[in-house]
Amino acid sequence: MVFFRSVSALSKLRSRLVQQPSFLNGSVRWLQMQSSSELDLHSQLKDLIPEQQERLKKLKSEHGKVQLGNITVDMVVGGMRGMTGLLWETSLLDPDEGIRFRGLSIPECQKVLPTANPGGEPLPEGLLWLLLTGKLPSKEQVNALSKELQNRATVPDHVYKAINALPVTAHPMTQFATGIMALQVQSEFQKAYEKGIHKSKFWEPTYEDSLNLIAQVPVVASFVYRRAYKDGQIIPADDSLDYGGNFSHMLGFDSPKMQELMRLYVTIHSDHEGGNVSAHTAHLVASALSDPYLSFAAALNGLAGPLHGLANQEVLLWIKSVVEECGDNITTEELKEYVWKTLNSGKVVPGFGHGVLRKTDPRYTCQREFALKHLPDDPLFQLVSKLYEVVPPILTELGKVKNPWPNVDAHSGVLLNHFGLTEARYFTVLFGVSRSIGICSQLIWDRALGLALERPKSVTMDWLDSYCKKAA
C-alpha cells in the first residue's frame, strides 16, 4: 500500500492534519494529542489491540482459505525466497521501492517524524511509536517516550560481570549477545508465565520486556564498545539527550553531526519486514513463547553472520583493503580488477545484492545524501561512490546475481569511520541496537494477536524426488 504519492504532498498533508485532526486511509494516522494517556504508549496500544484482534479474526474467517502462491522445489531448496509465509505488521518491503515503515518510505519518515533539530534526522523514539501504533507521534509523545526509555535504562550489575567474563578480544557481537542473555533474568514475561498468566494478557509483560530491552540495549552496547576499544572507560548516560544522541554520547562521540548520524542510523536499520534472518529468527523463537530477551538474543546471533548484519563490518574492512593494496588514488580500472579478484577468490562483494530488493536500497541512498551534505570530500566516501559505478555492471556480468545494486551496509561504515568510530568489528552491534526497535515492536503484536507457534513442514530429497516423479 502506498499512502503518500510524494514527499511534498505528504508535507502538505501533515500541515493540514495538524490543523484539523482526521484519519488517513490505511494504517498511518495522525492525531493531535491532549490528555496524558495520549502521551502514554501503553495506553495507546491498549486501545488499539482489540480492534486489530477483531481484524485478524475476520481475516481468518472470511479469507482463511485464499491462496497466496505456489510453493516450488526451488523455493524449498533455495532458502524459501519469494515464499510468503509470515505475518509482520510493522513494515513491508517492496523489491523496487524498498522499505516502508507502517506505510511510510524513508524519505517520508525523514519529512514527518519529529526531529531533535529543525530539518534534522528523525528521532528513533518517534519511529518506535510509529511501528508500534501505526500512528505518527507528536513531539510531545516522542519526548514522553524518550523519558520513559531513560527511566527503564538501568542495567543490572551482573550483566557487566557476564560480559567481563569474556576475553576483551571476543567479537563485539558475542559480547553484546552475552549481555542480552544476561538481561533475560529480569524478564517480566517469564515471571508472569510462571505465575500462570492468561494468554489474553501475554502482550502486557511482553510490552514491559520489550521497552526495557530497547531502553537497555544502547547501555549494554556502549559498554561493549568502551570495554573493547577504550580501556573500559565507561561514559554515563546524559538524560538531557534523546535515545540516538545519548547512544552516541555513551559511545564517546559528542559531535552534533555524529549524533544526527546515529539518529538516522538507528531509524533506518530498525526494521526490514519479517523474513530477514534476524527478524525471522526472533519471530520463530518468540513463537514458542520464549520471552523478548531470548528471542532478541537469538536474532543477534543471526545478525552476526557475514551475509546479514556482519556485512557492514566486511564492507569497511574490504574498502580499507582496497586502499591498502591500490593506494589512495585508485583508478576505475584498478578498482574493477580488485572487484574481479575478490569474486575470483570465491568471495562475495560485501554491501551489494539482496534477497528481496531489486534496486538500490533506499537506506543506502539516504546515507549517501547524508554524506553529500556532511562529508562530501571524505576519500572513503568518494571510493564508495566509485564502487556504485563499478560493482553493479560486474555483478550483472556474472549472470547469476539477482540484484547487483548496493544495500544498506555498503555505506554505513564510511560514515561512522568519518566521525571517528573506526572499529569495523563493532559495526554490527550498532545494527543490533537499531533492530531491537523493529523486532520488539513486532513481538508485542505477535503476542497481542496470539500468533501461532511457527512450525513449517520439511521434507527430504527422497521425498522431493518421489513427489516430483508422481507430479510429472
Q: Which residues are designated catalytic?
A: 308, 354, 409
Give the residue, chosen from 5, 63, 198, 400, that forms a contact with ligand NMX under the rule CB under 6 A: 400
> How far, rounded to the nearest angstrom, does the alpha carbon of residue 249 sit from its chain's CA centroid?
21
SS3 of 61-113: the string is HHHCCCCCCCCCHHHHHCCCCCCCCCCCCCEEEECCCEEEECCEEHHHHHHHC
Give the residue, chosen from 263, 354, 368, 435, that forms a contact with ligand NMX under the rule CB under 6 A: 354
407 lies in the site for ligand MLT, by CB under 6 A? yes
403 lies in the site for ligand NMX, by CB under 6 A? yes
Q: Which does 29 bind (CB under 5 to 8 A by kind): ligand MLT, ligand NMX, none?
A: none
80 half-sphere exposure, CB direction, 13 A CA radius: 12
Least distance between ligand MLT and beta carbon 127 (Å): 14
309 lies in the site for ligand NMX, by CB under 6 A? yes
**E strand residue ranges, 132-174:** 135-136
Q: Which does 430 bind (CB under 5 to 8 A by kind): ligand NMX, ligand MLT, none?
A: none
355 lies in the site for ligand MLT, by CB under 6 A? yes
272 lies in the site for ligand MLT, by CB under 6 A? yes
Q: Do the strands 98-101 and 91-94 form a parallel or antiparallel pair, or are they unpaired?
A: antiparallel
Nine-digit cell string for 331: 583508478
Answer whether 25's CB lies under 8 Å from 127's CB.
no
CB under 6 A: which stretch of 142-150, 218-226, 307-315, 443-451 binds ligand NMX?
A: 307-315
Least distance between ligand NMX and beta carbon 295 (Å): 18
Closest C-alpha among 337, 302, 301 to residue 322: 337
Taking CB atoms, the residue at the shortest distance from ligand MLT is 276
Residues in Cβ contact with 229 at an 8 Å cutoff, skipping those fewer than 6 apart: 423, 426
Q: By rule CB under 6 A, what string of x and - marks binding of each residue 162-191 to ligand NMX?
A: ------------------------------
Count of residues making up the chain: 472
Residues in Cβ contact with 183 at an 8 Å cutoff, skipping those fewer than 6 apart: 155, 156, 159, 212, 213, 216, 220, 293
276 lies in the site for ligand MLT, by CB under 6 A? yes
206 lies in the site for ligand NMX, by CB under 6 A? no
Q: Which does 403 bind (CB under 5 to 8 A by kind): ligand MLT, ligand NMX, none?
A: ligand NMX
Which positions touch ligand NMX (CB under 6 A)? 81, 307-309, 311, 343, 348-355, 395, 400-403, 407-409
Binding site for ligand MLT (CB under 6 A): 272, 276, 308, 355-356, 407-408
